[in-house]
Chains A and B, each alone.
Chain A
């Protein structure tokens, strides 16, 4: 595709429910990042995938958060038993190979609201 896409664009859920957020990176990009952007905050790193390597999960805030990347392309971020503090915009970005010299290309984000 032309850019990084994310779905859904908006998600409203009830506290305690599970949610899945999807990211389609730019075709050919091997590196994929998930970030969380809370109101008035910067981007909080969540998880990083690079090719077939084990992901860097060091940013995941709790064990309720998990992510997969199937076939080195599409990624799904899952939040189990959602809490109100999970409300935020979840951003996905991809880059060609994930080196520190590269630009990340961002998707439009998924705005999650937990009631």
Chain B
């Protein structure tokens, strides 16, 4: 079964710093990749997703992620973070139905004003 790892448990940045959150998955076949975000007190919501085509995908709020197939990675980036980006970020991999939608353990981002 596939698994998803996220490199950092908790990241602390100052406003305007650049962000990169790592995500790696273990699955040799075709994958669909997602980043979800959970702001404090809010639902999990989709940030961006990759299905096919350009491996650099752009999402909401200035986030982007790059799919590197050879590295089994889908890292999330933002050039300049804001205090409002404080949240928990989850990487997810989908290779099919039901149980094949697998989430990583999450990375908590704290942005200091």
A and B held together in a complex: yes
- CB pair B101–A42 under 8 Å, yes or no, is no
Within 8 A of A (CB), among B33-83: 34, 36, 42-46, 49, 51
Q: Cβ of A106: which chain B residues have Cβ within 8 Å of it?
A: 36, 43-45
Instruction: Tally B residues with Cβ within 8 Å of A.
Output: 27
The answer, yes or no, to whether B14 is at the interface (CB within 8 Å) is no
Docked complex Cα distance between A3 and B46 (Å): 14
The answer, yes or no, to whether B26 is at the interface (CB within 8 Å) is no
- CB pair A33–B101 under 8 Å, yes or no, is yes
- Chain A interface size, under 10 / 10 to 19 / 20 to 34 / 35 or more: 20 to 34
A31 smallest CB distance to B (angstroms): 8
Q: Cβ of B42: which chain A residues have Cβ within 8 Å of it?
A: 108
The answer, yes or no, to whether B28 is at the interface (CB within 8 Å) is no
Q: Which residue of A lies closest to B31 (CB)?
A: A100
B51 smallest CB distance to A (angstroms): 6
Q: Cβ of A42: which chain B residues have Cβ within 8 Å of it?
A: 4, 90, 103-106
Using A41-B105, A42-B103, A43-B103 as known contacts, say yes or no to A100 and B44 having CB atoms under 8 A apart: no
- CB pair B51–A101 under 8 Å, yes or no, is yes
The answer, yes or no, to whether A25 is at the interface (CB within 8 Å) is no
Q: Cβ of A20: which chain B residues have Cβ within 8 Å of it?
A: none
Docked complex Cα distance between A58 and B97 (Å): 12
Using A100-B94, A103-B34, A106-B43 as known contacts, say yes or no to A58 and B99 having CB atoms under 8 A apart: yes
Within 8 A of A (CB), among B1-50: 4, 9, 32, 34, 36, 42-46, 49
- CB pair A43–B97 under 8 Å, yes or no, is no
Docked complex Cα distance between A31 and B60 (Å): 25
> What are 7 A-B residue pairs whose CB atoms fall within 8 Å in the complex?
A33-B98, A42-B106, A48-B97, A100-B32, A101-B51, A106-B43, A106-B45
A positions within 8 Å CB-CB of B: 3-4, 33, 35, 40-43, 45, 48, 50, 56, 58-59, 91, 93, 98-101, 103-104, 106-109
B positions within 8 Å CB-CB of A: 4, 9, 32, 34, 36, 42-46, 49, 51, 90, 92, 94-106
